[in-house]
Chains A and B, each alone.
Chain A
Amino acid sequence: MNKQRLLIIAAGGVLGLLAVILVKMGNPANMGYCIACFLRDTTGGLGLHRAAPVQYIRPEIIGLVLGAFIASQATREFRAVGGSSSFTRFTLGFFAMMGMLVFLGCPVRAVLRLAGGDLNAGVGLAGLVAGVAVGVWFLKSGFTLGRAVPQPKSNGYLFSAFMAVLFILLLAKPAFLFFSEQGPGSMHAPVWIALVAGLAVGALAQRSRLCMVGGIRDFIILRDGHLLYGFITIFVVALAGNLAVGAFNIGFTGQPVAHTDGLWNFLGMALAGWAAVLLGGCPLRQLVAAAEGNTDCAVTIIGLMAGAAVSHNFGLAASPDGVPLAGQIAVILGLLVVFAIGMVNRPAVVTGGVSFGKGS
């Protein structure tokens, strides 16, 4: 087995194992590691949304970014780049988060939910695959957000510095931050354990290029299953871990931090998968790339956080009770926006004699 294959399996295995351990140490069930949920909690912790049950600055995210940053420095792979359709990336991130908060999780959590026996996650994963497949059609027809160009190194450092500041704020707990007293935000592993878990996953994800959406995408385009090894290893290890600790409960109903509305689980993740393919990777991969100095990916993360803020401030996000009508409308709107972005960023799209897009 080659080194790349070993790395991707190691990254998936460590993530799957840590996800089970983090739940045992206090994280919400089936939420040992969820990029969307943890960005949402962090957004709430900063007071950018006021949903009291989901406010906490998650050290897993901070650790993941800093772990990837350190790994990229050690391997000299850090490159400060940017300028590739930044606001379009923000917009795609914004709507991807809305989709994920209707499903109640990112692609990583979808796998972890399935490994915990939550069959609703299977419906969500089917939606993810469908969204990725549609995104692949756009890629094959020439979709591009253009080239990133080199930038001063200081630009690339800012995102990781932002995460370091978040960690200081988490330790200092100033009065202007918000910390949930009940609900998922109040449930968390000890800070230092969560940070170390994040550092480990971040470093391994940087070295292995672990990407949930990329695995499905590459298999569809190239029949290349390399990244899928990570995806599958997360599932297998988390499943074994959940069985070992008695946290496996198969079924659709009564699943932790989940709802049973199949249509919106499917469409929410389809929106997330489609947007993520156009962005070049899943939210985890965006965090890693931002840590490596890609400022466009940093803007994408801010887009994800803005999506979380709007979802919770305007009542769009789902809850275990289901998906509100406003959230359903947001997903449809998101699908239309992603479709429009996909269409106008293909080369030389011609409509009625008028050429628009980036040209060929």
Chain B
Amino acid sequence: MLALEREVDARGLLCPEPVLLTKRVLDNMNTGTVRVLVSNAAARENVSRLAENKGWRVDVSNQGDDILLTLTK
């Protein structure tokens, strides 16, 4: 089975745009991996909360000054 992978670049976007961009992707995927790049802690928390509420696992890592969220289900 094909494992879907998507990337969302939400760097520099103010609340709630990172969440909305991520939501559009998650709404069209049942399983797979979504990598979301954000640039501030508020976006990290908001995207994490969205993904967890939808049943996705969230792994967080730093990428220089940015934050990479890896969402999997």
Residues of A bordering B, CB below 8 Å: 4, 75, 77, 79, 81, 84, 139-140, 144-150, 209, 211, 214, 217-218, 221-222, 224, 226, 279-281, 285, 289, 292, 294, 296
Q: Are B49 and A139 in contact (CB under 8 A)?
A: no
Complex contacts, B65 vs chain A, CB 8 Å: 79, 150
Q: Are A81 and B12 in contact (CB under 8 A)?
A: yes
Q: Are A139 and B20 in contact (CB under 8 A)?
A: yes
Complex contacts, B42 vs chain A, CB 8 Å: 209
Q: Are B23 and A222 in contact (CB under 8 A)?
A: yes
Counting CB contacts under 8 A, is B41 at the interface? yes
Q: Are A4 and B45 in contact (CB under 8 A)?
A: yes
Counting CB contacts under 8 A, is B25 at the interface? no
A217 and B20 CA atoms in complex are apart in Å by 12
Q: Are A209 and B16 in contact (CB under 8 A)?
A: no
Q: Are A224 and B41 in contact (CB under 8 A)?
A: no
Contact-residue bracket for chain B:
20 to 34
Residues of B bordering A, CB below 8 Å: 11-17, 19-20, 23, 39-42, 45-46, 49-50, 53, 65
Q: Are B12 and A222 in contact (CB under 8 A)?
A: no
**How many residue pairs between the two chains, A and B, have CB atoms under 8 Å in the bound complex?**
61
A218 and B20 CA atoms in complex are apart in Å by 10
A281 and B14 CA atoms in complex are apart in Å by 9
Closest A-chain residue to B17, C-beta based?
A: A144
Contact A77 B41, CB 8 Å, known A222-B50, A224-B50: yes
Complex contacts, B45 vs chain A, CB 8 Å: 4, 209
Contact A214 B14, CB 8 Å, known A79-B39, A81-B39, A224-B50: no
Closest B-chain residue to A76, C-beta based?
A: B41
A-B contacts, 9 listed (Cβ < 8 Å): A77-B41, A81-B12, A139-B17, A214-B15, A217-B16, A222-B23, A280-B14, A281-B14, A281-B15
Closest B-chain residue to A139, C-beta based?
A: B20
The one of A75, A149, A150, A222 that contacts B19, using a Cβ cutoff of 8 Å: A222
Q: Are A224 and B49 in contact (CB under 8 A)?
A: yes
Contact A145 B14, CB 8 Å, known A150-B65, A221-B20, A224-B53: yes
The one of A148, A150, A221, A296 that contacts B16, using a Cβ cutoff of 8 Å: A221
Closest B-chain residue to A81, C-beta based?
A: B12
Q: Are A144 and B12 in contact (CB under 8 A)?
A: no
